[in-house]
Amino acid sequence: MKKPLLTLTAVFTASALALTACGDNGDDAAADDTDTGNGTAETTDAAADGVLAVVDHMYGPTEVLAPEDGDLRVVALGWSDAEIALALGVEPVAVHDWLGFGEETHGVGPWAADLFSEAPEVIPRAEEIDYEFIQSLDPDLILNVNSGYEEDEYDRLSEIAPTISGPEGAGNFNPGWDNQTQLVADALGLSEEGEQLVAETQESIDAVAEEHPEFEGLEAVTGSKFGAAYGLHTAGDMRWDLIEMLGFELYGPAADIADPDNFYAEVAEEQVEVFDADVAVLFPIGFTADELREDPLISSLSVVAEDRAVILEDGSDLVQAFSAGSPLSIELVLEELTPQLAEAVENID
């Protein structure tokens, strides 16, 4: 089911652009043959051949057929795929709840929940996909763009409905927020709208960077603690990528332990000094921010002792948005995290 395209500005200022989703502007979309840079989305005349789009991804081209009733049934399985579809005005009939948001917000962040006019099926996070349940939803399209990229999984989903995976060459759960957004848009027959959404999001990020030139060149890290384990977020994790796009550079010792083939690095107790950058953004998983501050190793770091660390509360909207990494959640992060970063920078001698 579809409704008017909602841009980032529309979501956060309650003003909507006068654009419509693919079911309502098929004639315009039919004229497009858009090279996305990550693959080609060829949108043809649905009235003539019944094809909404042909999308290239890591497993080759996938043809998405336009439903006869114009009501595209989308199952969003990938991390934040549902939020991107919603930002483009398309409501998935089912959402894989990767971050445990729950039924109350329909398996997406609270910043996106109101974009549903009807409650979708919320699929709890699980180790294995319930293929029979997915098939029972009778989808026209399965979005699995930000996922683990297991070929067997892709093959099985493709037996149920046209399935869109990540861009060619992407690592597991590492499509890049812009690539992910464009692939979702392409699959929905909304390539131009996807380009617009990516451009708006990038403009928001660039605007914050321009407003805070003091961020430029400072060394920073983002990391977390889960139980007794510490972790560092690196290139490919939106939690670091966004900080880097604001002008910060990855702290040298952190860069030394970063795995170029992974967006996360485990940090041993004797390595916690990799967090001791000019600025650190840290959050706990499964306990409170105060407990993280009181952690003997974390509290021993100069960045913490000198109030140059932004320590976020587990389960807060900001932490969830930081982790979601969708165009909608990025806006919330920019709004709420930026002042805290600026305050931390002020404490640098």
In tens, the pLDDT along 283-336 reads: 999 999 999 999 999 999 999 999 999 999 999 999 999 999 999 999 999 999
Q: Is residue 262 within 8 Å of 252, Cβ to Cβ?
A: no
Instruction: Reply yes or no on whether the pLDDT at 19 is more than 60.
Output: no
Domain co-membership, 225 together with 195: no
- Residue 261 is assigned to a structural domain of this protein: yes
Give the pLDDT of residue 220: 98
What is the per-residue pLDDT across 76-105, written as a single tens digit (0 to 9) for each? Answer: 999 999 999 999 999 999 999 999 999 999
Q: What is the pLDDT of residues 62-71, one digit of tens each?
A: 999 999 888 9
Which CATH number covers residue 189?
3.40.50.1980
Domain assignment of residue 19, yes or no: yes
Residue 171 sits in the same domain as residue 23: yes
Instruction: Judge if 174 and 228 occupy the same domain.
Output: no
Residue 3 in any domain: the answer is no
Q: d(Cα 191, Cα 89) in Å, to the nearest integer? A: 13
Reported as a single tens digit per residue, the pLDDT across 149-170 is: 999 999 999 999 999 999 999 9
204, 239, 268 - which closes a domain: 204
Q: 259 and 197, same structural domain?
A: no
What CA–CA distance (Å, rounded) separates 64 from 143?
11
Q: Same structural domain for residues 106 and 32?
A: yes
Please tell me whether residues 198 and 309 are part of one structural domain: no
Residue 41 shares a structural domain with residue 155: yes
pLDDT at 240 over 60: yes
The pLDDT of residue 349 is: 83
Q: Are 139 and 76 in contact (CB under 8 A)?
A: no
pLDDT of residue 236: 86
Instruction: Answer yes or no: do 162 and 241 share one domain.
Output: no
Please give the sequence-ordered ranges of beta strands (E in DSSP) within the chain, or none if there are none. Answer: 33-35, 40-42, 51-57, 60-65, 74-76, 94-97, 121-124, 141-143, 163-164, 219-226, 229-233, 249-250, 264-267, 279-285, 309-311
At 4, the pLDDT band (50, 70, 90 cuts) reads very low
Q: What is the pLDDT of residues 303-317, one digit of tens each?
A: 999 999 999 999 999
The Cα 79–Cα 97 span in angstroms is: 8
Q: Are residues 188 and 224 in the same domain?
A: no
Q: Please state the domain count of the chain.
A: 2
Q: Are residues 224 and 100 in the same domain?
A: no
What is the pLDDT confidence band of residue 259, given thresholds at 50, 70 and 90? confident
Residue 285 domain flag = yes
* Domain limits for position 225: 212-346
Residue that terminates a domain, selected from 150, 185, 204: 204
- Structure confidence by residue, pLDDT tens digits, 26-35: 333 333 333 3
Asked if residue 2 is part of any domain, the answer here is no
The reply to whether 162 falls in a domain is: yes
Residues 281 and 181 in one domain: no
Residue 117 is assigned to a structural domain of this protein: yes
Comparing CA positions, the residue from 165, 170, 136 lying closest to residue 78 is 165
Q: Are residues 91 and 113 in the same domain?
A: yes
293 three-class SS: helix
**What is the percentage of the chain residues whose pLDDT exceeds 70?**
86
- Is 1 inside a domain boundary? no
What is the three-class DSSP state of 122?
strand
Examine the fold and report which residue of 188, 204, 220 is the final residue of a domain before the chain moves on: 204
Residue 228: the pLDDT is 87
